[in-house]
């Protein structure tokens, strides 16, 4: 079930009515309703994977209790839980990748090995809900969280449908307290939610889906275009993936607000970053912070000496790339960002821009800030070419094509209007990602965005899935 579909609209209208007007006097019945709705929402893709979701939820629920109650086997139960999660994730997401990679390596050594290849569909959002459960047991083991004995409450934390398939990756100490207490409808919170939903739909339907048509054409036939057009295609994809993923997040946050929940922030205007470290503090924040808290710091973080710290940095960036999917392009993309990050770390300036967004007290950036943002965007866009390519060979050919007829008049320039419009609107909203364009009255904002969606939000006249559903 897609956020950008009539099916979801009808589903949510019915759910909203039942949530506030039928079960509104009991948050426990609200939680049961959320859980049932979440399973229906998830099962809309494939009912078979609902049982996998329930199994994953049960594993971490019982291991969480076991870790908390045990005095001598906490670590054993922790690693059993982690192992179960990784086995499920690895089987469905990575088995074929390792099997095919092993086969290719064996052939280069002169061995003919034919491993069994699974013909299975990747369960949508498996990486997201797996990481929800793992953070829960890690926090219990580290003494940061007391487990809930109520399975429904825990299951709502894992399966809450606004964030189930593409995040943000929630933390139990942030979402569970909201699950286990009564919720009341608040008009101001609901209006903020409507703003975010409409802004997210604008990003997805008007910007991302429109650019997707051009991006697919350019990347699918890159050998036929000049370097200038290929550069433009890379820029288009940078804005497509940002509009698509941050658009989903806005809709998720807005939907949760309509139900009385506040989810974690996942984006803070990453393309206005002044260095690559700031970019990663503003892009997919819930994933970056997850790897920081549960991988980087336990490995020793920055306290392990320069060489140890560099090793840890490369580990989390490579894992971040591999988290996105079983392709070498994602691994190389992660390694590429590690190489960009390392110089800032060695010079001890990786926290230089960690306080406020660029030009926080000004309308426009300085020339220096503009050049910094342009450089960061260029570096990030180079990485997006690898990320978007179907293979490393295709990525190399795309880069080679970018050097061909670089100064020729580019084709497919229609998307530039959308990119410029998106940049301008994002710039005016940059001070608060939860209240986009707050200088416009709620009613006027909702009317204007609704009109824009009706006129321009047709995309390709079909519902295009969000990019991060595949992860």
CA gyration radius, the chain: 23
Is there a catalytic annotation at residue 324? yes
Residue 235 has pLDDT above 80, yes or no: yes
Output the DSSP codes for 197-260.
HHHHHIIIIIIIHHHHHHHHHHHHTGGGS-HHHHHHHHHHHHHHHHHHHHHHHHHHHHHHHHTT
pLDDT tens digits, 411-430: 888 899 999 999 999 999 88
Residue 254: pLDDT above 60? yes
Reply yes or no on whether the pLDDT at 198 is more than 60. yes
DSSP-assigned letters across all residues of 288-310: HHHHIIIIIHHHTTTSSHHHHHH
* 2 vs 19, residue with greater confidence: 19
Contact 169, 128 (CB under 8 A): yes
For 146-176, how does the pLDDT look when each residue is reduced to its tens digit (9 = 90+)? 999 999 999 999 999 999 988 799 999 999 9
Query: One of 132, 222, 324, 353 is an active-site residue; which one?
Result: 324
pLDDT in tens, 168-180: 999 999 999 999 9
User: Do 315 and 295 touch, CB atoms closer than 8 A?
Assistant: yes
d(CA 318, CA 33): 39
Q: pLDDT value at position 461?
A: 47
Beta carbons of 288 and 309 less than 8 angstroms apart? no
Above 80 in pLDDT, residue 117? no
Q: Which residue has the higher pLDDT, 109 or 50?
A: 50
DSSP label of 94: I
Of 344, 127, 345, 387, residue with least CA distance to 238: 387
More confident position, 99 or 248: 248
Q: How far apart are the first and last CA of the chain?
A: 16
Lowest mean pLDDT among 28-37, 108-117, 276-285, 431-440: 108-117
Length of the chain: 471
pLDDT value at residue 261: 96
Least confident of 46-50, 131-135, 206-210: 46-50
| Cis? peptide before 168, omega within 30° of 0 | yes
Assign 99 a pLDDT band (cuts: 50, 70, 90): low
> What's the pLDDT at 264?
93
pLDDT of res. 276: 97
Residue 2 is given by DSSP the state -
Tokens 């306080």: give the residue.
355
Instruction: Average the pLDDT over 449-460 and give the result.
Output: 67
Look over the chain and give the mean of its residue pLDDT values, rounded to a whole number: 88
**Nearest to residue 254, comparing CAs of 16, 14, 461?**
16
| pLDDT at residue number 406 | 80
Q: Which are the contacts of 308, defined by CB distance < 8 A and separation ≥ 6?
A: 300
How far apart (Å, rounded) are the C-alpha atoms in residues 30 and 259? 10
**Pair 115, 48: CB distance under 8 Å:** no
Residue 84: band (very low, low, confident or very high) from pLDDT cuts 50, 70, 90: very high
Classify residue 350 by its DSSP letter: T
Q: How far is CA 413 from CA 57, 131, 210, 216, in A?
A: 47, 40, 12, 14
Pick the closest to residue 34 from 183, 191, 135, 189 (CA basis).
Answer: 183
* Angle (deg, nearest 10), helices 227-258 and 367-388: 90
How far apart, in whole angstroms, are the C-alpha atoms of residue 215 and residue 232? 9
- Provide the pLDDT confidence category of residue 390 given band limits of 50, 70 and 90: very high
H helix or E strand, kind and range, residue 378 = helix 367-388
pLDDT of the residue at 152: 96
Taking alpha carbons only, the member of 353, 348, 347, 410 closest to residue 376 is: 353
**What pLDDT is recorded for position 113?**
58
Angle 239-283-275 (CA atoms, 0-180°, nearest 5)?
95
72-86, 139-153, 217-231, 437-451: segment of lowest average pLDDT:
437-451
Among 12, 435, 429, residue whose Cα is nearest residue 192: 435
pLDDT classification of 468: cutoffs 50, 70, 90: confident
Contact 257, 192 (CB under 8 A): yes
């Amino acid at each position: 079930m897609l956020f950008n579909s009539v099916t979801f609209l009808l589903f949510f209208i019915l759910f909203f009515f039942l949530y506030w007007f039928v079960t509104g006097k009991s948050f426990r019945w609200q939680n049961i309703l959320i859980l049932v709705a979440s399973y229906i929402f998830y099962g809309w893709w494939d009912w078979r994977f609902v049982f996998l979701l329930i199994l994953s939820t049960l594993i971490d629920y019982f291991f969480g209790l076991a870790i908390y109650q045990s005095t001598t086997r906490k670590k054993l139960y922790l690693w059993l839980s982690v192992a179960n999660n990784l086995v499920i994730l690895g089987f469905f997401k990575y088995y074929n990748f390792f099997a095919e990679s092993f086969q290719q390596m064996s052939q280069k050594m002169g061995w003919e090995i034919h491993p069994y290849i699974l013909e299975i569909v990747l369960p949508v959002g498996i990486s997201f809900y797996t990481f929800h459960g793992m953070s829960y047991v890690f926090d219990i083991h580290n003494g940061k969280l007391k487990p809930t004995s109520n399975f429904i409450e825990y299951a709502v934390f894992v399966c809450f449908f606004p964030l189930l398939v593409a995040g943000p990756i929630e933390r139990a100490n942030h979402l569970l307290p909201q699950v286990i207490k009564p919720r009341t409808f608040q008009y101001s919170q609901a209006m903020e939610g409507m703003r975010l939903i409409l802004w997210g739909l604008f990003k997805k339907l008007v910007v991302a889906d429109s650019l997707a048509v051009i991006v697919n054409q350019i990347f699918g036939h890159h050998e036929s275009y000049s370097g200038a057009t290929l550069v433009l295609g890379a820029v288009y994809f940078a804005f497509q993936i940002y509009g698509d993923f941050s658009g989903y997040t806005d809709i998720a946050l807005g939907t949760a607000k309509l139900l009385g929940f506040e989810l974690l922030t996942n984006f803070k205007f990453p393309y206005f970053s002044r260095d690559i470290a700031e970019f990663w503090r503003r892009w997919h924040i819930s994933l970056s912070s997850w790897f920081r808290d549960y991988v980087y710091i336990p490995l020793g973080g920055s306290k392990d000496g320069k060489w140890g710290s560099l090793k840890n940095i490369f580990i989390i960036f490579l894992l971040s790339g591999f988290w996105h999917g079983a392709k070498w392009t994602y691994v190389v993309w992660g390694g590429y960002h590690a190489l960009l990050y390392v110089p800032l770390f060695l010079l001890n300036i990786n926290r230089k821009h960690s306080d406020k967004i660029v030009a926080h007290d000004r309308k426009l950036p300085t020339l220096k800030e503009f050049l910094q943002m342009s450089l960061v965007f260029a570096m990030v866009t180079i990485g997006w070419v690898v990320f978007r390519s179907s293979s490393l060979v295709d990525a190399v050919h795309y880069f080679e094509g970018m050097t061909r007829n670089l100064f020729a008049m580019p084709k497919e320039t229609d998307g530039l209007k959308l990119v410029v419009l998106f940049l301008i609107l994002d710039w005016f909203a940059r001070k608060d990602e939860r209240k986009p364009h707050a200088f416009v009255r709620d009613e006027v904002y909702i009317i204007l965005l609704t009109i824009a969606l009706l006129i321009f939000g047709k995309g390709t006249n079909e519902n295009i899935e969000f990019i991060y559903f595949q992860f």
